[in-house]
Structure 1
Amino acid sequence: MKNYFQWPKTLLAAILLPLNFGFSATSFAGIDVSCYPSTNIQTNAYTACDNLPALTPANDNQTNILLLLSDMGLAKLNFNQPNSPLWETEYSNVPFAAKTLFESATNKRPNARLKPNNQKTPYQEHCSSLDNGADQFSQQVKADKNLSKVEKDLLIQERQNISACDRDLALIQVNPNWSIQARQYASYLKATIAFYNSNFSIATKIYSVLTTIDQSWIKETSQYMLIRSSLNESYQSGVGEYGDLKIDKVNQTLLKNTYEHITTYFKRFPEGKYAASARGLLRRCFG
């Protein structure tokens, strides 16, 4: 485990890419969303416009992941589709567009991961868990025998009130007469509100405290949310005026904190509920 998580001197910019797996090959941050493929074989500059059927830093990250999965025998790639010529552009033909490969790739093994009920694709990655997070929170609160029915109803209602990710959400008022368990859930909701308000520094502070409590679900989920919170704060630090990436401006301390939160999660919860997601976020740290 120690060697696997050895801290590299330089983390690549992949951590700053959107976490949504299915983005279009012509979608970019900023104003210019055009895609102009080049026939030059680039191996040191990222582009989602023209991808090669070999591992290269210039490929879209999803292309490289699919190539690795193919090597492991976990995915089948169909580069040569009958009746499907090379991606034609006004300039020339290129090997293939990233989107073309995603649409043609298939699993060689059944997918054991359940599809989320929420099929919406938010613009901001951290908003993607808005609905599914509410379901998980409600299920946990309902199952907690240390909460009274009144507390359960209030907590579930407060979580359902967090229904948007594009405006300022007001922090909930914690009733001092609630049980300690209810106040801990309420603190978790405060961190969640800060997270969806994009106030990641506040969210990180609250999640950090909650990782020390005894309630197992809050403890593990808060440890996982520390990863996402610091990851998004790192992203914030490197975004330019028009949404472009300023790699030299990325806060390296925040980036290192993300890595440390991931390794801590694996140490504390090696078979945890969010292990697969945490492992994926670790890959983003290493680029």
Structure 2
Amino acid sequence: MKLTPLWLALCSLPALACGPDGCETPLTLQLTAAQCHLNGLPFLSPDNDTRTNLALLLADEQAFSLPKSPLPLPFAIEDLLNPTQAEPAPAVPDPLLALAAGLGIEQNTTQAALERAAGWSEGRCISNNPVAAEAFLQALVDTPALGADERSQLARQRLAMLGQCAQQIETAPEDKAMPLSAAGQGFADYLAASRLFYQGEFAQADALFAALAGQDQPWLKETADYMRIRVALNQSQQSAFDDWGTLDRNQIDQAAVQRAEQFIADYRSRYPEGRYLDSANGLLRRLAWFKGDEAALASLFQQASRQPGNPELLNEIDLKLLMQPGFTGSAAMPQLTLVQDLRRLRLHESWDEWQPLQSGELTQQNAQFASNPAWLAYLQQAERYYLAKDYAAVIAAAPALGKGPLDNLAFSQQVLKGMALAASQALPEAEQQWRALLASQPTPLQDQLLQLALAMTLERAGRLEQVFAKESPIQSVHYRIPLLEYVAPAPLLRRMVQDEQASDTLRQRAGHTLRYKQLTHGDYRGFLQDLALAPLAAPFDWQGSQEYQCPALTAVVTTLADNPKSPRALNCLGEFFLSQGLDWDPLLQRPGADTLAGSRDLFAGQQRSRLDWYQQVIANPKAAKEEKAYALYRAINCYAPSGNNSCGSQEIPLSQRKGWFNTLKRQYGTSQWAKQLKYYW
């Protein structure tokens, strides 16, 4: 989707950030999950991406590492699973270069192979990568029975394969006729089997890998055993996926599935600490997915989740279980039941493939949560909040807040209590809850949510000044700026412009907002008086226009300060807004009522738009003909070419726009503006 100027403007706002598709992500504790792609908050919420909730649960079990740095809320799931490092790791030479050099291979040969491998690959070809090549070269180094020439020859053969797949893989011509020792022949046979595998000749590849079972070289023997698993798995799925990657289980080769399962069992038995054990377990999960065995798959995911540090596991769980229609949970991995129950507490849409959680359904899940009663208690608390809206019961059920840090489950319980207090309009108690949590050594992610919650509570309580107090715990500009832009009165904006302790970004936004609202709210004298606060910056340093004669903005505002109804000055103010693209200024698009900065704007006066000013001129009997003609011309063009108002929020009937056009043509037909305008919209 191409972002329009409107979306680009809106997406610059902290209060209404946008994804690459222009999707809104408002700042609130209760997102509308169905409105957009899912975003995330650092507590267990129905509106989170299911992977976010699962990550929070696994983090409590030290099976997943959450980002150590704060993320702007709501965060994208990609930022949670793959956080960017504050400082990039220093570049280190590829170990394959050093290994190859030690085997007598020129750097440019290895570098060419690495560049070839950098291209995109999928399926079985993914494993034909520098890491696999490095393991092969290291095995050559670790095999004393190989001579130097053999090592070099075999290394060249492996590098020649790197990055090639599903096509005829060539070997190095000069090496083809070189005689090999018995040890060297084993490596050569492995390379031949690998070439066949990557070319899709699975039966021949399996025969060669099977023949390597008698090898004495440990790496060769284990790797060949592992590759037989991959051969059988690839045989099982040869016809199972369509062009869109959709699995058709009816096309699975079940005999090949059974062979792969047996090979995995054999591998795990022979190599309980094997170098490919994690991969073999992952392939076993894939086979369970092929069979549609959700119980076995959940059990395997539970085993895999005990090993921390694998964000891709969450994606795999999401794809193969959580996204499957009808999957509501698993006794083998009750975290999945909790995640799916939360999902079913979302605002339900008719197209949703998951039925909403029914009242009383949680009592039937006691057995699943027998080992984790706190999970069930939280789900019951969430059901009271999101379904029953029994806020008093939510508050009463929340555990007492102790001292010290809270894990994600305990934190979520306290967040729901705070949300229930706010929903009950018990704002002083909600503020107390958020401040107590901020004092409990929150994680960076938790701290961001608490700042947002406290900011929203103070805003709703009419205590905006407390957000910007010197001792305020709300320091994130991500939350301060929206409140300045949409809610703050002129005195607070003025104070923040002058606050030398505030960031340059915040001071600049406060200054822009102050001047913008002084113009749109008709505070022309205030605009002139505040010129001393800071030098005029773009767009307010406008020097006027030539087509419709206008002086600099300060001169226009000076005229309006003396005569707010001046037709020429109002037209020129509109010209300033038009030429500077301010019709689409984000300040004209207020956040939703249930989001940060969604309360009443405290800036004095009524907001006006460019079309309002033109209408004032059109209605002014004292306006000169040229001024009225220009105002009519611009007012009609506000609806060009779509018929939608691009100058403000007014809905002017088509009949009235037609009347403007007729008036311009009949009464001011000799003006340049009437001559230029051919249509109305």
TM range (shorter): 0.5 to 0.7
Q: CA deviation at 1:64?
A: 8.8
Q: CA deviation at 1:158?
A: 1.0
- Structure 1 distance, partners of 2:132, 2:165, is 13
Q: CA deviation at 1:146?
A: 0.9
Q: What CA deviation, in whole Å up to 9, does each residue of 1:43-97 have, x standing for no partner? A: xxxxxx769999xxxx98x77974673353221458xx864248xxxxxxxxxx7
- Structure 1 distance, partners of 2:268, 2:59, is 27
- Structure 2 distance, partners of 1:65, 1:135, is 35
One-letter amino acid matched to 2:73: S
> Of the two structures, which has the highest relative contact order with CA contacts closer than 8 Å and spacing of 6 or more?
1
Secondary structure at the aligned position of 1:139 is classed as helix
The residue aligned with 1:165 is 165
Does structure 1 retain, via aligned residues, the 8 Å contact 2:143–2:217?
A: no
Secondary structure at the aligned position of 1:73 is classed as coil
- Structure 1 distance, partners of 2:74, 2:265, is 45
The residue aligned with 1:214 is 216
Q: CA deviation at 1:280?
A: 2.5
- Structure 1 distance, partners of 2:207, 2:251, is 23
- Structure 2 distance, partners of 1:195, 1:154, is 21
With over 3 angstroms needed to count, the CA separation of the structure-2 counterparts of 1:39 and 1:276, relative to structure 1, is same
Aligned pairs for 1:90-105 (under 5 A) are 99=78, 101-103=80-82
1:73 aligns with 2:52: no
Aligned pairs for 1:1-287 (under 5 A) are 39=34, 66=55, 69-70=58-59, 72-76=61-65, 83-85=72-74, 99=78, 101-103=80-82, 120=118, 122-130=120-128, 131-163=130-162, 164-170=164-170, 177-286=179-288, 287=297
One-letter amino acid matched to 1:155: L
With over 3 angstroms needed to count, the CA separation of the structure-2 counterparts of 1:134 and 1:263, relative to structure 1, is same
Q: CA deviation at 1:182?
A: 1.2
One-letter amino acid matched to 1:165: C
The residue aligned with 2:458 is none
Q: With the length of structure 2 as denominator, give the TM-score of the two structures.
A: 0.28
- Structure 2 distance, partners of 1:261, 1:65, is 31
- Structure 2 distance, partners of 1:233, 1:116, is 33
- Structure 1 distance, partners of 2:56, 2:248, is 28
- Structure 1 distance, partners of 2:65, 2:83, is 9
- Structure 2 distance, partners of 1:229, 1:68, is 36
The CA RMSD over aligned residues, in Å, is 3.8
Q: CA deviation at 1:159?
A: 1.0
With over 3 angstroms needed to count, the CA separation of the structure-2 counterparts of 1:129 and 1:146, relative to structure 1, is same
Does structure 2 retain, via aligned residues, the 8 Å contact 1:147–1:181?
A: yes
- Structure 1 distance, partners of 2:121, 2:148, is 37
- Structure 1 distance, partners of 2:183, 2:251, is 41
Q: CA deviation at 1:104?
A: 5.7
Q: What CA deviation, in whole Å up to 9, does each residue of 1:8-66 have, x standing for no partner? A: xxxxxxxxxxxxxxxxxx9xxxxxxxxxxx949xxxxxxxx769999xxxx98x77974
- Structure 2 distance, partners of 1:248, 1:67, is 36
- Structure 1 distance, partners of 2:95, 2:55, is 21
Secondary structure at the aligned position of 1:237 is classed as coil
Secondary structure at the aligned position of 2:282 is classed as helix
Larger Rg: 2
With over 3 angstroms needed to count, the CA separation of the structure-2 counterparts of 1:171 and 1:105, relative to structure 1, is closer
Mark the runs of 5 or more structure 2 residues left unpaired by the alignment. 1-20, 22-32, 86-93, 97-113, 289-296, 298-681
Does structure 1 retain, via aligned residues, the 8 Å contact 2:215–2:221?
A: yes
Does structure 1 retain, via aligned residues, the 8 Å contact 2:240–2:248?
A: yes
Q: CA deviation at 1:269?
A: 1.0
- Structure 2 distance, partners of 1:280, 1:274, is 10
Q: CA deviation at 1:205?
A: 2.0
With over 3 angstroms needed to count, the CA separation of the structure-2 counterparts of 1:240 and 1:132, relative to structure 1, is same
Q: CA deviation at 1:267?
A: 0.9
One-letter amino acid matched to 2:58: L
Does structure 1 retain, via aligned residues, the 8 Å contact 2:157–2:171?
A: no
Q: What CA deviation, in whole Å up to 9, does each residue of 1:126-177 have, x standing for no partner? A: 2223221111111111221111222111111111111322532147887594
With over 3 angstroms needed to count, the CA separation of the structure-2 counterparts of 1:282 and 1:116, relative to structure 1, is farther
Q: CA deviation at 1:103?
A: 3.6
Secondary structure at the aligned position of 1:202 is classed as helix
Q: With the length of structure 1 as denominator, give the TM-score of the two structures.
A: 0.62
One-letter amino acid matched to 1:251: D
One-letter amino acid matched to 2:147: S
Q: Which has the higher helix share?
A: 2
One-letter amino acid matched to 1:135: E
